Structure 1
Amino acid sequence: MSGVNLKWVNTTLRLKGSVVHAIYKNVLWCGFFGFFVSILHHLQLPVSQPILGSVIPSIVLGLLLVFRTNTAYERFWEGRKCWGSIVNNVRNLARQIWVSIDEISPDDKDNKIAALNLLVAFAVATKIHLRGETINDELEEFMPSSRYLKLKIMNNPPIEVAFWIGDYLQQQYYRNCINSYQLTGMQELLNNLVDNLGACERILKTPMPLAYAIHLKQLLVLYCLLLPFQIVNSLGWWTGLITALVGFTVFGIEAIGLEIENPFGYDANDLPLDLICKTMKRNIDDLISLTPSARSPENNASY
């Protein structure tokens, strides 16, 4: 039980991964302004205006913040589902390539290994593409240098990698290494990978409407500026602290929405894309270490 309590305390006091660094200036300004209003009240100036609480009802601001956070989390969760689908489709397509495609020449096994590496390359290229980065040497180990150099000049590298995989599958069909049903199944998995790429691009390129983001920020600032005038008569010198706490709450919720609405970056709250890609690489390496059982001649027949 003490271990659970210690973990709870550590999580509560943890700064890495929180939004404190993004909002602390706003919180301090709220506290200073509240303290300033309490000084004016102490000097018996008419700053106590409880009626200002009706200017921006708390329930209205709360609903706006909830909508903002839910919208951002939906984007985060959709991104996670897309990458989960990428992992599953890579595993299924790799398994089918490794088991179903016949090896009728000495180079066929090496070509299959190259195709499996291209599946990992698709995931890595998708990660780099979503982060808006240029192709780096992280991809170099998964393909020949000629293809790597070709990839560096492409506008959408994952699409080029998907083309290479699809071209390989088509070649195996022409060589009678797979039948039409197997080709259709593998192409469907490849299409799913491209669909997942498109879904991630949709998340990335569809930001929160600017007018909504601006209006929410304006309401947050206005609410925190009006709050000290509402509570100073009741709280006195505590006005600054309470205003800072309220600012910490509302600005923190808004900052969390900003933090998670683009889940493809490097922040602590973003998806662990590097780890996901490394996991896929380990899965492919494990698969390559396995030897499929010999296929019977009747399974090689075309339908």
Structure 2
Amino acid sequence: MTTPRSPFQTLSSSSFSSSSSSPFQFTPKTSLKFPSKPSQILCSQTPNPRSPPKSITFISILRTIPDWADGIKERRMKQSRPLYKHEDWVRHRSSLRHIRHLLSSLNSRVILSLVPPVIAFTSVATVVASYNTAVLWHLLPEIFPVLRASSLPYQLTAPALALLLVFRTEASYSRFEEGRKAWSKVISGTNDFARQVIVSVEKDSSLKTALLQYIVAFPVALKCHLIYESDIGRDLEDLLDDIDLEIVLSIGVCEQIMGIPIPLSYTRLTSRFLVLWHLTLPIILWDDCNWIVVPATFVSAASLFCIEE
């Protein structure tokens, strides 16, 4: 059994000849164009075949808004996030950023994804307020009670909810930071790989260009592999087989981030806590706020679910 050679031991034009007998043959199926300037790393989406028309049901009508919000969230997660330049930092520090952020609220991926839960809990608050008003105005029989409760349970559980949201925020940022470091290692590793190819390969411009094309293709293929519903075969067909250990370790970190979420029990607990909290919030606030419970529930749901998202 022979040991695979390092890609930098013997790189010559003969090693990549058209002869089919060489086990180290380098014959790309499709010629990849080497970019003349840096370009955005994008991924093609897998073309979805035409699905048969679905019958309209009550459940499908209820899922219209959630499906719309989820579609916006998933599509915008695939958009590129360019690195900041000096002009971007000046704009980011501008005193007018607060007005700009407020005016762009309806274009925010996070805010648009909050439309379903915020509408749902605001509707619950409206129903509770309408019911209590009808009872107080004697529009309903006296057997119906006014929905009210003590605020003491909320005062006792508010710190627990705050801790859950803080922990989720910290865990999300830690995952983001770990992914950023791993991706930086991938980019620096491919740059180092390219420098070694330029130094090690004999002066064969066509061979160097072919190798550099595949090195440039590697980060694109990795990103397509990690992003859901990306079609790798549509963007790239061949990859280099030998990769430095540092890049391999970084790939493992990226795959772990994709495959290992924040503990599901914690995520579900936070979600259930928030749902129960906002379902009962109008009842708790009715005595003090009356119809103000509707905007109060709206603001509370929008704020806390935004943090959770």
Give the TM interval when normalised to the shorter protein.
0.5 to 0.7
Deviations 1:14-53 (A, max 9, x none): 1333322222121122222223323343333432212453
Q: How does 1:94-109 map to 2 (within 5 A)?
A: 94-98=194-198, 100-101=199-200, 103=202, 108-109=204-205
- Kept in 2: contact 1:52–1:230 (CA 8 A): no
**What is the aligned partner in structure 1 of residue 98 from structure 2?**
8
Partner of 1:205: 259
The answer for the alignment partner of 1:178 in structure 2 is none
Over residues 248-282 of structure 1, what are the superposed CA-to-partner deviations in whole Å (9 max), with x where a residue is unaligned? 11111112xxxxxxxxxxxxxxxxxxxxxxxxxxx
Decide which structure has greater helix share: 1
* Matches of 1:17 and 1:55, distance apart in 2: 32
User: Which residues of structure 2 form unaligned runs of 5+?
Assistant: 1-92, 137-144
Q: CA deviation at 1:5?
A: 4.5
Which runs of 5 or more structure 1 residues have no equivalent in the other structure?
A: 140-147, 152-160, 167-189, 256-303
The answer to whether the 8 Å contact 2:151/2:285 transfers is no
How far did residue 56 of structure 1 move? 6.2
Count of aligned pairs: 208
Change (3 A) 1:247 1:102: closer
SS in structure 1 of the partner of residue 112 of structure 2: helix
Contact 1:94 1:119 in 2 (8 A): yes
- What corresponds to 1:229 in structure 2? 283
1:36 paired residue among 116, 119, 127 = 127
TM-score of the aligned structures, taking structure 2 as reference length: 0.60
The question of whether the paired residues in 2 share the 8 Å contact of 1:48 and 1:230 is answered with yes
For residues 76 and 232 of structure 1, the distance between their equivalents in structure 2, rounded to whole angstroms, comes to: 40
CA distance in 2, matches of 1:54, 1:123: 49
Which of 106, 114, 133 does residue 23 from structure 1 map onto?
A: 114
Distance 1:56 1:26 in 2: 24
Structure 1's 102 and 225: CA in aligned 2 closer, same or farther, altered over 3 A? closer
Counterpart contact for 2:201–2:208, Cα < 8 Å: no
CA distance in 1, matches of 2:290, 2:149: 13
Instruction: Give 1:137 shift.
Output: 4.1
Which letter maps to 2:281?
L
Contact 2:169 2:307 in 1 (8 A): yes
1:142-184 deviation line (CA, Å, top 9, x unaligned): xxxxxx3xx4xxxxxxxxx342x46xxxxxxxxxxxxxxxxxx
| Alpha-carbon distance, 1:67 to partner | 1.1
Residue in 2 aligned with 1:272? none
| Counterpart residue number, 1:135 | 232
Report the Cα distance in structure 2 between the residues aligned to 1:62 and 1:34, rounded to whole angstroms: 22
Give the fraction of aligned pairs with identical amino acids, expressed as a percent: 30
User: Letter of the aligned partner of 1:87 in structure 2?
Assistant: I
1:74 corresponding residue in structure 2: 174
Q: Name the CA distance, whole Å, in 1 between partners of 2:115 and 2:180.
A: 29
CA contact (8 A) 1:52 1:229 kept: no
Instruction: State the match for 1:169 in structure 2.
Output: none
Q: Kindly indicate whether the alpha-carbon contact (under 8 Å) linking 1:53 and 1:230 is maintained by their aligned counterparts in 2.
A: no
Amino acid at match of 2:285: I
**1-structure distance, mates of 2:276, 2:175:** 28
**How far apart are the structure 1 equivalents of 2:245 and 2:266?**
35
Q: Report the equivalent of 1:48.
A: 148
2:281 is the counterpart of 1:220:
no
Within 2, Cα distance between the matches of 1:135 and 1:199?
A: 20
CA 1:56–1:136: 2 relative to 1, 3 Å: farther
